[in-house]
Structure 1
Amino acid sequence: MSDTPAFPPEEIGAFLRFCAGEWMSLRSEFALGAIEAQANGGEDGTALGDETAQSDETVQGDEWHSSERGELLVTFLEPAGGHGPGGLRVGPKNSPQRDLHFRPDGRFSSGEAGTPAGAAPLEGDWELWPDGSLELRLEQEGREVRERIWFTKPNLRLRSTVERQGDGSPGRASFSSEIRRVSRPATGS
């Protein structure tokens, strides 16, 4: 029997542990509401609660999407009292981190202690799918956000996020490809 963990991870605790690391990320974001508004004859595509969304009058050409590079830090948090799947501390490098605590009943939350100043606490559902992907779902301020995370290789993971407004209209979507930073083994002399 091999000591190598299953790939992709088949259980939530193993999946969370596998996420730990420093990731270089390329994220593309799309303002789907603005695209739909243009297609529907100019109705406002502003996402609920989003001050940076643009009306259809200003969304022209390639302004409906953006791409950015970044670095993401993910730390595995051991389960409280040694029970449950554990959690993750997640956030951009050199920025406040958010703690997410996963429960065996398919729920996750950030709680007050794991929430950066000025950010709302999160609470939602998680599901580890048979294909090895983890889906997070949360409802907040009249909208639903679904994020799916999956690994194509041990050091390459992909994330997609889709937001829907309470009325079912699209909000934003993003896609990220993330490469784990690994250090080269020391060479002996």
Structure 2
Amino acid sequence: MNIEEFFELSPGKWFSHRTSHDLACKQSENGKSDTIIERLSSDHPEVVKLCQQYNVEHSPNCYGAKVTWNATMAGNEKKQTGSTVFVAIPDEDNPNEGKFLRAMDSPGKTPVVGRYKIGTDDALTFTTEYETVCYEERLWFASPNLRMRVSVVKRIDGFSTASFTSEIRMGGGQPTAKVSQATNSASS
């Protein structure tokens, strides 16, 4: 699988269930969300704007997605809603690796260009390092309609948070036959 196939397989409405564990406090937290993923073309205004925000040269070979969520955490009835835009820009010499941009969720925050890599196991790994935090997330498809995510947030003070999320496609975009075959062969 390559980055284009990964982005093609992702659109749709997903139900997500996440368990997070704060390693310092030895506490776990569960949550669920409805997530909608939309594929954005390389010339979509939000993709172009994000590249400009990061001072990264826009490429016609970039891949964009908009993610919108409506989430709740166990014990907290207040819904968490929001959306963000992601852009992956493959390296010219190795399209399985490249730059990863994410819309900033806080005004005034300095944009940080992350990296992505697709491994031989077809898992996509994003890594972003801020001044005090390193964030790594790994995503893979167990089948065309079942996606898994694990993430680790490591703080400079040594404390970490880990999470596992399973996502089930509930509708919306369906993968192309080519992408479905790539995913099915990876899960065999």
TM-score past 0.5 threshold: yes
Correspondence for 2:160 among 149, 171, 184? 171
Q: Which has the higher strand share?
A: 2
Shift of 1:118: 4.4
Q: Which has the higher helix share?
A: 2
CA RMSD of aligned residues (A): 2.2
Asked if 1:74 corresponds to 2:37, the answer is: yes
In 2, the alpha carbon distance for the partners of 1:21 and 1:170 equals: 34
The answer on whether the counterparts of 1:157 and 1:179 sit within 8 Å (CA) in structure 2 is yes
TM-score (norm 2): 0.68
- The number of residues matched between the two structures is 142
Whole-Å separation in 1 of the counterparts to 2:132 and 2:105: 21
Match of 2:75 in 1: none
What's the counterpart of residue 109 of structure 1? Answer: 101
What is residue 152 of structure 1 aligned with on the other side?
142
Post-superposition shift, 1:83?
1.8
Percent of aligned pairs with the same residue?
27
Q: Distance in 1 between matches of 2:23 and 2:122?
A: 27
Gaps of 5+ in 1: 1-9, 36-63, 184-189
Greater C-alpha radius of gyration = 1
Q: Which runs of no fewer than 5 residues in structure 2 stay unpaired? A: 44-57, 71-79, 92-97, 173-188
Higher relative contact order (CA 8 A, sep 6+): 2
Contact residue 14 and residue 171 of structure 2 kept, 8 A: no
Is 1:65 equivalent to 2:24 in the alignment?
no
Give a deviation string over 1:14-36, Cα, whole Å, max 9, x none. Answer: 1011111111010001101223x
Change in Cα spacing, 1:117 to 1:96, as seen in structure 2 (3 Å) is: farther
